[in-house]
Amino acid sequence: MTDSNKSATLTVHGKTYELPVHSPTVGPDVIDIRKLYSEADVFTYDPGFTSTASCDSTITYIDGEKGELLHRGYPIDQLAEKSHFLEVCYLLLYGELPAAKELEKFETTITRHTMLHEQMQYFYRGFRRDAHPMAIMVGVVGAMSAFYHDSTDVSDPHQREVASHRLIAKMPTIAAWAYKYHTGQPFVYPRNDLDYASNFLRMCFSVPAEEYEVNPILSRAMDRIFTLHADHEQNASTSTVRLASSSGANPFACIAAGIACLWGPAHGGANQACLEMLEEIGTVDRIPEFIARAKDKADPFRLMGFGHRVYKNFDPRAKVMKQSADEVLDLLGIEDNPKLQVAKALEKQALEDPYFSEKKLFPNVDFYSGIILEAMGFPTSMFTPIFALSRTVGWVSQWKEMIADPQNKIGRPRQLYLGETSRDYVDIEKR
């Protein structure tokens, strides 16, 4: 945060107050209202916090109008094309791209933390087989504090570091085991000779009856999905992690809270909703009907996976994800998958339609990631768990930044109270 001599004047009930204005390195100025309540006895009103900066941060910057997403200053499209997920993890955690030896050490640390405590298998078996994988992940991640007591003291920098590494390393195993448990197949243990994405794919799709070879195109596509979802500034789940951690809760509980928030269909379920829409359309010949419905303001139907709440131009992650989607579909084909046939035809027709280009309703990252995951063989119930796996490093980075911030204090949003004023209790026989 860069302080300046700027200030804003606010008049309340005829009295004027000078409020400091802080200038960021990039983005809009921020009016500091921290003393407004104590000095003027008023709150600000901002449902959804869409105009409120809840913290200062150096991790991620988004400009929705320009279609820009930066991690520590690096554009997301460059990172997705030239880097890989664990290097981006290092960048988010520590602020700079690693040197070769730093990256090697970090990758080794993450690789050697991928196994889960053996007793956690019994925790999985307490769930019903038809439990949603996200329900399992919320429970298992929250329960990690019962198994890893040596990394729950948030006041200890070393324990914070260990907890960070454990969460990033173990999340693929946790998600893969949730998938295996859901399908009734035996758990597959991680292997230290595989990279992060390949390890995850193997733990999801290999079985003891035969050897599983990870295709490098699928591994690269999976790595890009992880990279493109690694962090997205102060969204709902990240804000949930920060709010939970402001109380001093252990890191595993805080990340479990983030997973629970991500589960909401308005947040992490977008690519699942996209696939469900493709299933509703059903066949290529019905696409014009649904495009017409999307244009009809009186029709509640919307094309899922097109446009974005934050990006008012184009989603900067979509270009790279489209490239991966094309590579995966070329490898696996779409001939036997009606949903993928509809997806490719819908993409083509929507991009050629002036209505969508004029309104800047371009396919976003959720559209392409849903296509990739469907082609790989993941059920839609696993889409959000994979999102949670990807976003863990962003949550952890934001959590670490917040804990180390000397301005950190417990979150306490205010309210506009519209209920009854004070009234006396009435005995039950007189009501």
* Interatomic CA distance for residues 362 and 61, integer angstroms: 21
The structure tokens 């995951």 sit at 373
Q: 4, 23 in Cβ contact below 8 A?
A: yes
Is-contact 287 281, C-beta < 8 A? yes
In the β-sheet with 30-31, what is the strand arrangement from edge to edge? 2-12, 15-23, 30-31
Sheet holding 60-63, edge to edge: 60-63, 68-71, 74-75
Annotated catalytic residue 366: yes
Alpha carbon 121 to its chain centroid, in Å, reads: 26
DSSP per residue, 285-349: GGHHHHHHHHH-TTS----TTBS-SS-SS--TTHHHHHHHHHHHHHHH-STT-HHHHHHHHHHHH
Where in 165-239 does DSSP place strands (E)? none
- How many residues would you count in the chain? 431
Q: What is the CB neighbour count within 10 angstroms for residue 123?
A: 18
Task: Check 308, 326, 405, 424 and give the catalytic one.
Answer: 308
Which are the contacts of 50, defined by CB distance < 8 A and separation ≥ 6? none
Of 4, 39, 57, 28, the closest CA to residue 402 belongs to 57
DSSP 127: S
SS3 call for 198: helix
Q: How far from 396 is each of 160, 208, 376, 413, CA to CA, in Å?
A: 9, 34, 28, 22
The active-site residue out of 223, 231, 315, 366 is 366
Angle at 31 between CA 25 and CA 37, to 5 degrees: 145
Structure token pair of residue 14:
């005829």
Q: Please compute, for residue 223, the number of CA atoms within 13 A of its CA located in the half-sphere on the CB side.
A: 24
How many alpha carbons fall within 13 Å on the CB side of residue 204?
A: 25
By annotation, the residues acting in catalysis are: 308, 366
